[in-house]
Chain A
Amino acid sequence: MRKGLLYLCLSVLLTSVMHAEISITSESLQEKRINKQLKWVKATKVIPGTKIRYLNTVSNTGEQAAEDLVITNPVPKHMQYLEGSAKCAGACTITYSLDGKVFKAPDKLFVTEMGKKRKARASEYKAVKWVIERLGAKQRSSVQFDAVLE
């Protein structure tokens, strides 16, 4: 069942790539102490409490610039988004969503709890969105966020 799904996704991916020259790659990294220094390496030891950095690299392999790039990344299930961790390599606008559909700035996200409205906690974010105005031909850029495994 899952294998079939993967093929389906791959075929969809290939179709998309043929359409245009923008690709996006997702990596998961974790901190590791190497020679007394903390470095981000490929995530291999993931246990409850582990902080994971999701790094998405967008590449424009074409000859034309792309505009209005909107990158969305649902916060994976069992992971809690870490406040203030979403970043991008250049200039971008970052918004967050509590339902994966409506994206807003942190101070405009509210949760109703026992009849009372309160500001949403970062750990309640379900998705992150980055908007980049332009990615030139033969250019690449990246966006990232950190989350902790429950």
Chain B
Amino acid sequence: MRRIVCTVLLWMAAGMTALLAKGVPAGTEISNFATVSYQMDGVSYSTTSNTLSDRVDQIIDVNVVWNDASPVIVANGDIDKVLTFKVTNTGNGEDTFTLLYSADAASDFAVTDPKIYIDTNNNGVFDPSIDNEAYSLTLAAEASTAVFLVADIPADSYPSGSISDNLLEAKSTIGGSGTPGTVYPDAGVDGVTAVDGMNGGVDKQLGTYEIGSELGVSLTKSATPESAEVATGTLIQYDIAVALQGNGSVENLVVTDPIPSGTTYVAGSLKLDGVALTDAEDSDEGRFDGNAVEVKLGTATQTDTLPFGRMITFEVRIE
């Protein structure tokens, strides 16, 4: 009877530590024991083994993701532009991570005055008056927090599409060697052994700023039938006026227009600024691919004194 009581209590002791959904927390005790019952001279006996207790060691790991869906659009001279990252403690024990910024050499331009802020109020959005500037972050096992990189864009004249790649690194202060499997005796929570996990206890991710286009491209399309009464066989001329709004340059400007259903493109009718273009894909700007007309305008530039404007025309016949 006494043995049974003992067994039950041991089970309870083993069950006291909270179980997490993923990965048993570092420091948890894993207990094991076995019992044997047997017969000797027709008498039943029973005995219990020693109780093993293995403590769960700490896996150290961290994951950094860049949370903006696409490059953050900025303008030359902007200040306090924000890149949003998420740092997750993917280990099984509490850890403090050092946060480090570095510029990626492959960038078109470098930001100035980069600062790192932690999402103090945990709302996922940068709040300048609430969130704290910090370069270390303590996270419980499986916990994550948004981290913001806040930087200024140089007051220069980088063309639209120029990018600036910026790295945010989070590195464990318990481990963080970068080599999975590196062991740190007694360094984990409650003095357990700590081991660098899959990422080696350190991770970094790129976030991107992109100089936005200050230009708008506008297309104005009009249709002119050859006669007031539109019927089968009627010829319609389409005009597409291409213009820019704002000053600057747009690269690789291509205008594509599918032929309306119920009409047939009139072979050889495509023109740019009144100059005929062949339907084939060749050295001139235009072509008809069987479904749509396409005109490649290349780089389009507009200044106050040199406005940009092109006119594309083509004809279709009603079926």
The answer to whether B39 touches A66, judged by C-beta atoms less than 8 angstroms apart, is: yes
B54 at interface by CB-CB < 8 Å: yes
Q: Is there an interface contact between A13 and B19, defined as CB atoms closer than 8 Å?
A: no
Interface-side segment among B22-30, B96-104, B286-294:
B22-30
| Residue B73 interfacial (CB < 8 Å) | no
- Establish whether residues B57 and A46, one from each chain, have CB atoms under 8 Å apart when the complex forms: yes
- B193 — nearest CB in chain A belongs to which residue? A45
Across-interface contacts of A67 in B (CB, < 8 A): 38-40
Residue B52, interface by CB 8 Å:
yes
Bound form: Cα–Cα A72–B51 in Å: 13
Which of B4-12, B62-70, B122-130, B200-208 is near enough to bind chain A?
B4-12
Tell me the dominant secondary structure on chain B's binding face. mixed
**B59 engages A24 (CB within 8 Å):** no
Bound together, the chains give a CA A25 to CA B40 distance in angstroms of 19
Is the Cβ of A77 less than 8 Å from the Cβ of B31? yes
B-contact bits for A71-85, CB 8 A (1 contact / 0 none): 111101111000000
Query: Contact at A13–B30, with CB atoms within 8 Å?
Result: no
- A72 CA to B38 CA, complexed, in Å: 12
For A9, what are the chain B residues with a Cβ–Cβ distance below 8 Å?
A: 6, 10, 48, 51
Q: How large is the interface on A (under 10, 10 to 19, 20 to 34, 35 or more residues)?
A: 35 or more
Q: Find residues 59-115 in chain A having any chain B CB closer than 8 Å to their own CB.
A: 62, 64-74, 76-79
Chain A residues contacting B160 (CB-CB under 8 Å) are: none
A16→B56 contact, CB < 8 A = no
Q: Is the CB of A52 within 8 A of B54?
A: yes
- In the bound complex, residues from chain B placing their C-beta under 8 Å from that of A2 are 13
**Cα–Cα, bound, A22→B122 (Å):** 60
Roughly how many angstroms separate A73 CA and B48 CA in the complex, as a whole number? Answer: 10
Interface residues on B, range: 35 or more
Pair A73/B30 contact, Cβ less than 8 Å:
no
Verify if A139 is at the interface (C-beta below 8 Å from B). Answer: no
Chain B, Cβ-Cβ closest to A149: B24
**Closest CB in chain A relative to B129 CB, distance in Å:** 40
* Partner of A45 from B46, B49, B51, B57 at Cβ < 8 Å: B57
Flag if B49 contacts A24 (CB, 8 Å): yes
Indicate whether A73 sits within 8 Å of B195 (C-beta atoms), given known contacts A45-B57, A66-B39, A78-B19: no
Chain B residues positioned under 8 Å from A19 (CB to CB): 45, 47
User: With A and B bound together, what is the CA distance between A65 and B41 in angstroms?
Assistant: 9
Instruction: Write the chain B residue with the least CB distance to A150.
Output: B24
Within the complex, which residue of B22, B24, B33 is in contact with A26, where a contact is CB–CB below 8 Å?
A: B33
B145 close to A (CB within 8 Å): no
Cβ contacts A to B, 25 pairs, < 8 Å: A6-B51, A9-B10, A13-B50, A16-B47, A17-B47, A20-B45, A22-B38, A26-B34, A26-B50, A46-B30, A46-B55, A46-B56, A47-B57, A64-B40, A65-B40, A67-B40, A69-B36, A69-B38, A70-B38, A71-B35, A73-B34, A77-B11, A77-B15, A79-B30, A135-B38
Q: Which residues of B contact A (CB under 8 A)?
A: 2-3, 6, 9-11, 13-15, 19, 22-24, 28, 30-41, 45-52, 54-59, 92, 183, 193, 195
In the complex, the 9 A-B pairs of residues with the closest C-beta atoms, listed nearest first:
A48-B23, A16-B47, A73-B34, A26-B49, A66-B38, A24-B49, A20-B45, A56-B34, A69-B38
